[in-house]
Each structure stands twice: as structure tokens, then as C-alpha cells.
Amino acid sequence: MHTLGEIAKLVNAELVGDGELKITSLASIDCAKSNQLSYVVSEKYQEQLSSTQASAVIISKSLQKYCNTSAIIVEDVYLAFAQITHLFKPKVIHISGIHASADTHNATIAPNCCIGKNTTLGINTIIGANTIIEDNSSIGDNCIIGSNVSILQGSTIGNNTVIESGAVIGSEGFGNARDKHKHWHSIAHLGNVIIGDRVNIGANTTIDRGTLEDTHIHQGVRLDNLVHIAHNVIIGEDTAIAACTGIAGSTQIGKRCMIGGMVGVVGHLSICDDVIVNAKSTIDKNITVAGMYTGIMPLMPHKKWQIIGVWLTKLDKITQYLNIKLSHLKGK
């Protein structure tokens, strides 16, 4: 817990409001409650800023007129947010063996594992050699966790789930802010990973924790080897994703989808239920209608790709035009 004054001092901010206000955690502007700190980066969110339940917000001077709470006013909101997140990141100290507070329910635990404090392992669960399960994590009944798996702090895994060797659950998300010198500052990710029942996760797959809220993998999902799931992604029930696919942050994928190998999904997108995406496709816009999709282009210089891309979007009109011309010629 930190006071608002302490936080403002950390980022050299102007403080508006009560500097002794106790801040317990960070939250998004829509989800924030009393004693939480949020942030807003643009006027696009002025309505949420005006109505937020947060006790304080990080904002720029231009947004102050929309703010009804205490505020930390800075030039670069995103950079200040990045710096402040590290104040609230729980520290984990790894110990060898099983922490005294862990509840293992007589799970089978192979040699050289580290089981953190306040961790729960379900009945008939098997933990492979050299696996790390950090503090405050929970694994359900009848799970099989392979060797050399890392399940990081606060992760929750349902019943009858299989995680193959080398997977990392709850890794730090790829979030960074630049300062005026073009130096990067990492964002500490404070959310967790929630995995449902009957999920299979392949070898060396990584699932990042959420930035402020959680990353969700719903029940029945199948993830192949070497899949990357970024922060805040939500994957719906019984969706299957093949190897080497990467899904960028804050994307939502519906139920019963099938995504082929080496697919790239741009962040902040929504894919509806019952979508099939063929291998090596790139998804760069929302998919709102169920069906099969393919998006593959051969490698070429970017300028050439831009020109071809414009023509591709006009092919239907070009075809219509040529058909009309051809009909006129035949008529003559």
C-alpha cells in the first residue's frame, strides 16, 4: 500500500487532491473501485473518467476538466503508469522444496520442484520434475503438469488439465513505455492467468499474465506446442490453436474456433464463435461471421505490398467493369 503523495513523488507529478489517500492497487478505468488508482491516456475515455469509481487517476493536464477524483497530473500518462506499476508488483522469493503453507492434497510431486506459499494442489494431481509453482497459485484435481513447467504467481488452473513440459504460465506481458530519450520502461503486469477445466497446453507454450485484469483460457481449450498467448487475451471454450501461432494482447477469441499453425493475430481484436483460420494467415481485423478464413501474402518489398494490397481490395469492382465491357463488345 502506498499514499497518493508517495506515488506522485515517484513520477514527479502534480498532485491534485489528498496526498495521504491510501492506494491499495491499480485497476482499469472501468473496473476501478475505492482506494484504487487508474489511468486515462486520451479524451476518448472522458465519459469513463467522469464516472469512474477509482479514488485517483493518472491523467494529463488536458483531461483534468473531466476528472472528479484526486489526480496525478503528468506529461506522459503511459510512461508514468509504467513506472508506478512496479510499486504494486508482488515480490516472490523462491525456496527449494515445498513451502510449509502449501496445501498439496497428497499430490504426486517429482524431485527438484519448488512449490510456493499459499499454493494449492488438487487431488490426484501429478507435478513433473524441476517444475516451479509460485506463490498463491491453485491447481485443480486430476491435473498433469509436465517437467520444467513454470506456473507463476497467482495463476489458477482448473480440473483435469494437462500442461506439457517447458510451458510457462503467467509470464510477464510485453508492455513497454518510451521516455523522451527513447529509452524503454517495462510495465509490471499485475493481473493473473485463469485456466479452466479440461484444457491441454502444449510443450514450450507461453501464456502471459494480464496487465491489470486477467488472461483467461476457458474450459476445453487445446493449445499446441510453441503457442504464444499475450496479456489480457480471452480464449473461448473448446477452441483449438495449432503450433507457432502468436496472439497479441487484449484479443478475444470465441468458442469452438480452430486456428492453424503459424497464424498471427493482431492485438485488440475480436473473433466470433465457430471460426476456422487456415495456417500462416494474418488476422488484422475483427471477424464477426462464423466460417473459414485465409489471409496469406507472399513476401515482397513493403512498398510493392502496399500497391498490390490496394488492387486486391478493388478486384471485385475491376471484374464487374470488365464483364460490362465484355458484354458491350459481344453486343456489337
Q: Determine the Cα–Cα distance for residues 78 and 76; give it in Å rounded to an integer.
A: 6
The letter for the amino acid at 125 is T
Q: What angle do CA 24, 25, 26 make, to 5 degrees?
A: 150
Taking 3-state DSSP, the helix, strand and coil percentages for the chain, each rounded to the nearest 5, stand at: 20, 30, 55
Longest dimension (CA), the chain: 92
Q: Catalytic residue among 216, 218, 231, 302, which?
A: 231
Residue 245 DSSP code: -
Q: Cell 477524483 belongs to which residue?
A: 69
Instruction: Tell me how crowded residue 319 is: count the other CB atoms within 10 A of its CB.
Output: 10
Give the three cell numbers for residue 149: 513447467
Q: Determine the Cα–Cα distance for residues 201 and 222; give it in Å rounded to an integer.
A: 6
Active-site annotation holds for 231? yes
Active site residues: 231
